[in-house]
DNA sequence: ATGAAAGCGCTAACAT
DNA sequence: ATGTTAGCGCTTTCAT
């Protein structure tokens, strides 16, 4: 076992390797970083010495020198939200193909924490930042400041008043599919359970819901627009409110994400409201647990791998350019996944 | 808006601040890092210049100089497993109190990926590493090598043949509680649905299950020990196997984690096996979704905040010491959470 | 109290 | 093809 020494953690440096191999540090560097011309013999000797000494690069030193870290930072609103973790997984895969690593931070749904995380990622010289802003307006300043310093792309959510790349889904189009499906299943009135309008997903989804419901002449009462947060608890609370109202709940409850929908279906069971018989319910995101609900959730599947790939591509492009180039806003159209919480069968 | 320049991302350095304030870089450093004696006047001037220029430390440079990064690395087997994400959340909180940040990596349940992540964390000079090893034996070499270089504590899972600190739960004691509860509910035979024995949690939990079931004279047939992976799918598959066997499933199915248990209860619904009437089911971890199962899961609640706090404490202690000191293995006794997937009511 | 200067480990001109 | 050397941005002796 190796003994820990010095402030360095007892790390072997290239000069030790150089000394042992009887060459200069430059040669060692050339061999180990694989750049420049070195003879086979030198290469062998250096490699041997490095192995014998158990040399590992110090990427801090390398980063200082290169001002590149091969690391991308990512900030998500909540690491316990399964949608974001699967998005993280997709991003990691996309990054892996470029030999980059991910430095993940949790904003704890708090713009102040988020601002700290962004600053600290910038201080650590990450090569780029992927952020899903936790707040629709308050996240703005920190996101913009960060974007002014290094490549940044917003993912899924978007914060107003910022000028950056963005990749996400077309919430309006998604909601159109949802409402059409519900309507085909016989729904003539609908409620919306979302989060307080502090982020773009929620806003856009509500907007899409309103628009298409109006198009189809579906009844949407003001007291059926229920805004809380992205959580199971909130879904449960929403049903309690809906059930208590005179006339009972509408024909459908459209949820802004699957967590809420899971809470809604659970509460419906508790309140003995048949789903989808009495009320149809839809989610959004298609997290793994969506299919486990009772009944399994009809929901909108987000193309996470594609979203992640586009984000990584934009970042790489931005890193290459000297000048900031024009911004891209990429909205992918998601797909409706029909399960058992809605009455299947369209017009045909 | 600021323009990006140079290889540096156009960052302001202390020499620019020094020049503007008309002082030396040493003074700037003293002011900004809050160390050393500086007159109030100087402090003011430097602070002013730094603000005007929008100075932010370059933590790469600082880290190279200090060989300290105030960052802790964490590696988990799977970032999509809700148990690990909530553990991450707890660790972040604990770290936040020390002003440290977390660099989170996903091992994708693959010891080779895990080894790469560990090496890369070490290369980035994190101050310590918290790892939940993905494999019971194959994770060994990489974990030990890393532990030889810097403070490391294993969390939750433990890999054999390593000499490091560890914090987790007492799986044997936990299983004892589970089996006693099941037995009190009338179970006289039991199956175990876990993961292949490639990690300590699974091994220990099976061991605890076997021991206590034997103590109480519960029937445990070999074909009732079902080992797959920690996933909902595996839980579903396990029930299919159990239901197909002559005589049908045993009185209880003990699961090594909640994901498996969620799959088990779901499959029981599909197979019209009443839970807890015909079969009692238990989970492990108490993830958020455990209470959402149908029926809600009886499970073992892991004291995540406590586990995280102990881990951070051990890391801090190790960072302080020059010599490696004796190892600590801290096993916390978890608490059984009784819900609807078991027949409640103990002996009394 | 302040400044000059060395150096953390690495890489890339620039020599040879 | 290989070596010499000058820094990347910061902190910290050591002088003054």
Three-state SS sequence of A143-212: HHHHHHHCCEEEECCCCCCCCCEEEEECHHHHHHHHHHHHHHCCCCEEEEEEECCCCHHHHHHHHHHHHH
Its pTM stands at 0.90
Q: Of A64, A86, A262, which has the smallest distance from its Cβ to B60's Cβ?
A: A64
**Predicted local distance difference test score (pLDDT) of residue A9:** 61
Confidence (pLDDT) at B171: 96
Structure tokens given for A125: 């010289």
Residues of chain A numbered 136-155 and touching chain B (CB < 8 Å): 148-150
Averaged pLDDT, A135-156: 94
Query: Which run of H or of E encompasses B238?
Result: helix B232-244
Residue A199: per-residue pLDDT: 84
Residue A7 has pLDDT above 70, yes or no: no
Name the band, by pLDDT with cuts 50, 70 and 90, for residue B323. Answer: low
Please give the DSSP secondary-structure letter assigned to residue B125.
T
* Chain D nucleotides reached by a protein CB under 7 Å: 1-5, 7-13
The answer to whether the CB of A186 falls within 8 A of the CB of A197 is: no
Q: Are strands B165-169 and B128-131 parallel, antiparallel or unpaired?
A: unpaired
Q: What is the mean pLDDT of chain B?
A: 92
Dihedral in degrees, nearest 10, Cα atoms A81, A86, A90, A91? 20
User: Which tops the pLDDT comparison, B96 or B90?
Assistant: B90
Q: Which of B124-128, B167-171, B182-186 has the lowest mean pLDDT?
A: B124-128
Over residues B4-55, the pLDDT tens digits come to: 334 466 789 999 999 999 999 999 999 999 888 999 999 999 999 999 999 9
Query: According to the model, what pLDDT value does residue A160 have?
Result: 85
Is residue B325 very low, low, confident or very high in pLDDT (cuts 50, 70, 90)?
confident
pLDDT at B161: 87
Q: For residue A329, what is the DSSP state?
A: E
**Chain segment A60-107, per-residue pLDDT in tens:** 999 999 988 999 999 999 999 999 999 999 999 999 888 898 889 999
Nearest to A106 among B80, B89, B148 (CB): B89
Would you say residue A323 has pLDDT above 50? yes
Residues 6 or more apart whose CB falls under 8 angstroms from that of A58 comprise: A11, A13, B64, B123, B125
Residue of A nearest to B128 (CA): A9
In chain B, helix, strand, coil percent, each to 5?
A: 45, 15, 40
A4-22: average pLDDT:
77
Cβ of B9 and A149 within 8 Å? Answer: yes
A8 touches chain B (CB under 8 A): yes
pLDDT in tens, A177-236: 999 999 999 999 999 999 997 888 888 999 999 999 999 999 999 999 999 999 999 999
pLDDT of residue B185: 96
Q: Which residue has the higher pLDDT, B292 or A9?
A: B292
Interface of A with B in 55-114 (CB under 8 A): 56-61, 63-64, 66-67, 69, 71, 79-80, 82, 85-86, 88-89, 92, 101-106, 108
- Reply yes or no on whether the pLDDT at B80 is more than 80: yes
The candidate with the shortest Cα–Cα distance to A282, out of A268, A296, A269, is A296
Average pLDDT over residues B245-269: 96
Q: Are the CB atoms for A262 and A283 separated by under 8 Å?
A: yes
Contacts of residue A274, defined as CB under 8 A and 6 or more positions apart, other chains included, come to A268
Give contacts of A67 with chain B, Cβ < 8 Å.
7-9
Confidence (pLDDT) at A4? 37
Stretch B232-253: mean pLDDT: 95
Whether chain A has a CB inside 8 Å of the CB on B269: the answer is yes
Task: Give the angle B71-B74-B79 at the CA atoms, nearest 5°.
Answer: 135
A52-91 residues near strand D (Cβ < 7 Å): 64-65, 67
> Which structure tokens are listed for A153?
């792309």
**pLDDT higher than threshold 90 for residue A259:** yes
- The whole-angstrom separation of Cα B238 and Cα B240 is 5
Taking a contact as any Cβ pair under 8 Å apart, which residues of chain A between 166 and 195 contact chain B?
A: none
Say yes or no to pLDDT of B264 above 60. yes
* Nearest CB partner across the interface for B124, out of A59, A64, A262: A59
Report the C-alpha gap between B303 and A252 in whole angstroms: 39
Does the pLDDT of residue B122 top 50, yes or no?
yes
Task: Give contacts of A150 with chain B, Cβ < 8 Å.
Answer: 4, 9
B232–A contact, CB cutoff 8 A? yes
Q: Is pLDDT above 80 for A28?
A: yes
User: Which chain A residue has its CA at the smallest distance from B3's CA?
Assistant: A148
Contact A57 B123 (CB under 8 A): yes
Residue with the bigger pLDDT between A20 and B2: it is A20
Question: Chain-wide mean pLDDT for chain A?
Answer: 92
**What percent of chain A is modeled with pLDDT above 70?**
95
The whole-angstrom separation of Cα A1 and Cα A214 is 71
Q: Report which of A247, A171, A232 is spatially closest to residue A202, judged by C-alpha positions.
A: A171
């Amino acid at each position: 076992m190796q003994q820990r020494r010095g402030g360095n953690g007892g790390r072997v440096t290239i000069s030790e390797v150089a000394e042992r191999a009887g060459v200069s540090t430059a040669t060692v560097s050339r061999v180990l970083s694989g750049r420049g011309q070195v003879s086979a013999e030198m290469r062998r000797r250096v490699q041997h010495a490095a192995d014998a000494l158990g040399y590992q690069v110090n990427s801090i030193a390398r980063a200082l020198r290169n001002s590149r870290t091969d690391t991308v930072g990512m900030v998500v609103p909540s690491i316990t939200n399964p949608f974001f973790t699967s998005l993280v997984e997709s991003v990691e895969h996309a990054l892996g193909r470029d030999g980059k690593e991910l430095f993940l931070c949790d904003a704890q749904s708090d713009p102040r924490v988020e601002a700290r995380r962004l600053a600290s990622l910038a201080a650590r010289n990450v090569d780029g930042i992927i952020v899903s802003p936790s707040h629709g307006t308050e996240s703005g300043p920190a996101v913009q400041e960060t974007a002014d310093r290094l490549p940044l792309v917003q993912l899924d959510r978007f914060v107003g008043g910022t000028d950056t790349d963005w990749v996400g889904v077309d919430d309006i189009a998604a909601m159109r599919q949802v409402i059409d499906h519900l309507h085909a299943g016989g729904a003539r009135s609908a409620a919306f359970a979302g989060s307080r309008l502090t982020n773009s997903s929620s806003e856009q989804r509500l907007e899409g819901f309103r628009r298409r419901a109006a198009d189809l002449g579906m009844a949407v009462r003001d007291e059926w627009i229920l805004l809380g947060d992205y959580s199971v608890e909130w879904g449960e609370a929403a049903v309690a409110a809906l059930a208590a109202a005179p006339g009972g709940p509408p024909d459908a409850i459209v949820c802004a994400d699957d967590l809420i929908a899971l809470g809604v279906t659970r509460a419906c069971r508790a309140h003995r409201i048949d789903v989808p018989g009495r009320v149809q319910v839809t989610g959004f995101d298609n997290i793994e647990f969506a299919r486990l609900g009772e009944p399994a959730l009809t929901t909108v599947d987000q193309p996470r791998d594609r979203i992640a790939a586009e984000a990584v591509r934009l970042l790489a492009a931005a890193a290459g350019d000297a000048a900031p180039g024009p911004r891209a806003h990429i909205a992918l159209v998601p797909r409706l996944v029909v399960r058992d919480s809605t009455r299947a069968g369209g017009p045909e």
